[in-house]
Chain A
Amino acid sequence: MFSKKIIAPIVLVIIVYVVAKLPVFPGIRVFNLVLSGDDVGEAVLVSVAFIAFTLWVYATIPYGFSSVFGRIFMGIMLFLGFEAAGELLFFISHFTYSLEIKGLLHVIGGFLFVTGYLPLYASLLMLLCEQRVLLRKPIETANVFASVILVGLLGLVWAYFVLFATRFLGELFRFYAVLAYTLYVILDVVALMLIMPLVTANFRHGILQVCIRELMIAIAVFAAANIFLNFSLLFGEKVWFMKSLSTITYTIAYILLAKPSVAIARIERLTIV
């Protein structure tokens, strides 16, 4: 999973963020806009998201939209498409001074973020249905039980922090922002609940199964990164490094999501040892 091809872009992204966040970083001037360190970081995030989406389009088309795995991959592709579009709208909103336009971009972007989870869930449910092809043995009930409890704990921790924040720091948090972050966390927790039993099961050794396992892990990382991002957005304005750290993990999650698409697109040219 951690080959040179994957480590190189991750290291590159981290270096870009570190350089961009340095106090001496002067900012980049593009079309009369001055990009700060955070803007550069988000630009990299949007670019990586669109690259991941493009790679998945390239991977999905040969499978068609009527085959089992074609539909599964289409779900992932649509998910990435919605997420990338949402990221782009949020990124653009940084450069508008009109509050109405900024608000509109946030609403549409947020809607795209939430909508993206529908094809993702469809794909995950299809993968669960096709577990006979993917796994050596059917998913064990103990795995399901442990996964739900483990992932549910994340939700409980979130609920505790939100209750804590709204009870004692109420005047510092906007109600709708907390509501939106909570919605994203719930969506991620559901995704993790669907993924964890599959990820922890014993996969077969075909190239397709190996790719799908990598994809599952990448989605799990993405969901965890998204939960972390929402934590950081809740408290990030108070702790400067949390926002940067969450953006880095989010970008790494997109890189991990993009990786199996290359293997899936060229599956007939690969050999497994």
Chain B
Amino acid sequence: MSEIYDITDVVKKLRRMIGRKWVAVVRKANLRLKVREETYLVNGNGLARLRITLRGILGKEVADDILSLAKPLAVVKREVKAEETVVGYDRASIESESKALLDPIYFSSLLIKASMVTVESLNIDRFDLGKLFECLKLEKAETYFMKITHETGDVFKVIVDKGVVKAVVLERKEGISIFGYAALEFLLKLKGKVEVLVLKLAFEK
């Protein structure tokens, strides 16, 4: 995070005091001035360097007095903007639940009381759980099992509980199984023609 300062008034004051020598002073401070429409901008580090240089030339009090004319403009955040979340998932349970999903007994026990909701063929640009729920008219409060078969032959098995992905397993065409967060990453990159089979899971209280 870095601050931007408008030092136009500082430059004017320096020019009034020491004339064109202000250029040499700024050069000594190793400043990278940005000039936009007669406005001189400098970042926080540059202002600190200018303060040190001016303190040497004009003394501490005079330099601080002149630099009090610098106006902070804005705080520029350098953090990378987080990507828009398209799939909510439970990071804690996704690994263990996904591994359990590989177990055929567990898997079959899940499906015993499941009820068919829909089967749809879709063409997707990227996997967006919210849009999928809208498209298939699913309810966020329920728990669903989804079997997503891609046109390449890859199969994703996904359990979604209350709109959050609880488990993912990817069964590649070649017979390799990937589960957990690694499978989720493949799911997020999914695009093209897919067939989605949705089952509603019921649990005994």
Q: Are B57 and A67 in contact (CB under 8 A)?
A: no
Among the stretches A47-55, A139-147, A205-213, the one at the interface with B is A205-213
Q: Are B59 and A63 in contact, CB atoms less than 8 angstroms apart?
A: no
- Residue B105 lies at the interface, judged by CB distance under 8 Å to chain A: no
Top 3 nearest A-B pairs (CB, nearest first) are: A64-B19, A67-B19, A206-B59
Across the interface, do B59 and A267 meet the contact criterion of CB distance under 8 Å?
no
A64–B57 contact, CB under 8 A?
Answer: no
A-B contact count (CB 8 A): 69
Query: Known: A206-B55, A209-B58, A272-B56. Contact between A62 and B17, CB under 8 A?
Result: no
If A62-B24, A63-B21, A204-B62 touch, whether A267 touches B57 (CB-CB below 8 Å) is yes
B61 interfacial contact with A, CB 8 Å: yes
- List B18-36 residues whose CB lies under 8 Å from chain A: 18-21, 24-25, 27-28
- Contact indicator B57/A269 (Cβ below 8 Å): no
**Interface readout for A237-273 with B: 1 if CB under 8 Å, 0 if not?**
0000000000000000000000000000001111110
Q: A63-B20, A67-B18, A204-B62 are in contact. List 7 more A-B contacts (CB 8 A).
A: A63-B21, A69-B18, A204-B61, A205-B60, A207-B56, A209-B58, A268-B21
Shortest distance between the CB of B40 and any CB in chain A (Å): 17
Are B58 and A206 within 8 A (Cβ)?
Answer: yes
B21 touches A267 (CB 8 A): yes
For the residues of B in contact with A, the DSSP-based class is helix
**Chain B residue contacts of A271, Cβ below 8 A:** 56
Q: Give the contacting residue for B17; candidates A68, A204, A207; CB below 8 A.
A: A68
Whether A133 is near chain B, meaning CB under 8 Å from some CB there, is yes
Chain B interface residue count: which class? 20 to 34
Bound-complex Cα distance A133 to B18 (A)? 12
Q: Within 8 Å CB of A267, what residues of B?
A: 21, 24-25, 57
- Across the interface, do B59 and A209 meet the contact criterion of CB distance under 8 Å? yes
Instruction: Closest B residue to A271 by CB, please name it.
Output: B56
Whether the pair A133, B21 counts as a contact (CB closer than 8 A) is no
**Do B20 and A64 touch (CB < 8 A)?**
yes
- Cβ contacts under 8 Å, A133 to chain B: 17, 58, 62
- The answer to whether A268 and B57 have CB atoms under 8 Å apart is yes
Among residues of A, the one whose C-beta sits closest to the C-beta of B27 is A268
Q: How far is the CA of A69 from the CA of B16 in the complex (A)?
A: 9
Is the C-beta of A32 less than 8 angstroms from some C-beta in chain B?
A: no
Q: Which residues of A contact B126 (CB under 8 A)?
A: none
A205 proximity list for chain B (CB < 8 A): 59-60
Residue of A nearest to B24 (CB): A268
Name the contact of A206 in the complex, choosing from B24, B27, B28, B62 (C-beta under 8 A).
B62
Interface residues of A in 55-100 (CB under 8 A from B): 62-70
Given the known inter-chain contacts A206-B57, A272-B56, please indicate yes or no for A67 contacting B17, CB distance below 8 A.
yes
Q: Is B173 an interface residue (CB 8 A)?
A: no
Query: Within the complex, what minimum Cβ distance (angstroms) separates B153 from chain A?
Result: 71
12 A-B pairs in the complex with CB atoms less than 8 angstroms apart:
A62-B20, A62-B21, A63-B21, A67-B15, A67-B19, A70-B18, A70-B19, A204-B61, A209-B59, A268-B25, A268-B57, A270-B56
